[in-house]
Amino acid sequence: MSPCLSSRALMRVVAGGGRPEQRHHAGTCARCLARRRAIDAAVDRATTVLLGTEPPPAWRPRLRRYWLPASATVAVFVVLLVVGEVRLWRAVTPPATPPSDVAAFLADVSATLFSLDPDGPGAAAADDGVDGAADETSACAADPLGLTCARGDDAGGLAGDDMSALDASANGEETQ
Amino acid sequence: MQHAARLRRLCRLFLGDREEANEIVQDVFVRLQAASHGGGLVNDPGAWLTRVAINLCHDRRRAGWWPRWRRLTDGVEGARLATSEPTPEEAAIGRELADRVWQAFRRLSDRQREVFVLRRVEGWSTDDVAAALGLGAGSVKQHLFRAIQRLHAAAGDGA
């Protein structure tokens, strides 16, 4: 094993440190002495550069130094915000499928309001006469707003004696 | 005058900015004048000035984010243009080596930079540096070792 010092140990000696035997060796061994002088020369060269040249613009390292942690903090904050928001939304959003009775009620309402079929439930009630009137009473009971009752009442009024009178007058006009 | 040039050089190395170094040196001499008017005795003006300059550089570096940001965004006039002619020293040294050394020097911690400058540039003894910076002698040697390691890697033949 070579008794010569490592570069690290030599640099410690150059810095004024190291163990006494290392310092002694660095001063007596020709090889280590030459390496020590090379280190000294390199450090002197660095000193000359520092004293003889203008520092290059420092904005890049500084920006890197300060913007990197700042951007990382902002990114972490945004991620936390998004995760928190998602969890909050999941907590307060009702289930996607409504209960079955609500769905049935909505289907009834949409069928009643938006039906384009003339032979639909409302038309059938108008044509059926007494049966229709019976249906109307049940429809009125089921429709507290009177949307379907109003139509049913008009139809029901025509369903009884007035209907036969209309028929008679029509026949009279035809014979004349 | 000799102290002014030395302190300017010192502060420029600590702060990396010529303008700031000039401001600090002015401040140092204002304090010296105030100290001598106040009846305070300054036995060793060189050491006293250096110590005050180091402390002021410390304060400047510890300034909050706004002064730093302002300095960063202010320095358009002071910035060296990429096409500017190199000084004779720079021409002799080589821009690439200079950039490498400055980069390594900037990566040193504040303490390492201070110890290196006082020991290797100013030529102070380890004990004087330790006393000026309020460190132990072992700590000064350790900081100097780290600084030498980095700068040797940047300026050595194999770099």
ipTM at complex level: 0.77
- Angstrom CA distances, A110 to A132, A152, B29, B137, stand at 21, 18, 90, 90
CB contact under 8 A, B148 and A66: no
Q: Which residues of chain B have pLDDT under 70?
A: 1, 39-42, 64-93, 157-159
**Length of chain B (residues):** 159
The pLDDT score that the predictor gives to residue A152 is: 45
What is the mean pLDDT for each group of 10 consecutive residues in chain A (176 residues)? Answer: 82 91 90 92 90 72 67 93 89 70 87 72 50 54 58 46 50 50
Ordered DSSP codes for chain B:
-HHHHHHHHHHHHHHS-HHHHHHHHHHHHHHHHHHHHTT---S-HHHHHHHHHHHHHHHHHTS-HHHHHHHHHHTTTTSPPTTSPPPHHHHHH-HHHHHHHHHHHHHS-HHHHHHHIIIIIS---HHHHHHHHT--HHHHHHHHHHHHHHHHHHHSTT-
Say if CB B145 and CB A12 are below 8 A apart. yes
Instruction: Give 3-state DSSP helix, strand, coil % of chain A, rounded to 5.
Output: 75, 0, 25
Q: How far apart are CA A123 and CA A120, in angstroms?
A: 5
The pLDDT score that the predictor gives to residue A153 is: 47
Q: Would you list which residues of chain B are within 8 Å, Cβ to Cβ, of chain A?
A: 9, 12-13, 16-18, 65, 68, 72, 75, 79-80, 87, 89-90, 93, 97-99, 101-106, 119-121, 126, 138, 140-142, 144-145, 148-149, 151-152, 154-157
B119-138 per-position pLDDT tens digit: 998 888 999 999 888 899 99
Q: How far is A56 from chain B (nearest CA, A)?
A: 7
The pLDDT score that the predictor gives to residue A130 is: 47
Report the half-sphere exposure of A115 (CA within 13 A, side-chain side): 15
Report the half-sphere exposure of A70 (CA within 13 A, side-chain side): 8
The pLDDT score that the predictor gives to residue B83 is: 45
- Chain B residues closer than 8 Å to A6 by CB: none
pTM, whole model, 2 decimals?
Answer: 0.58
The pLDDT score that the predictor gives to residue B41 is: 64
- Chain B residues closer than 8 Å to A8 by CB: 149
The pLDDT score that the predictor gives to residue B146 is: 95
Is A70 touching B (CB cutoff 8 A)? no
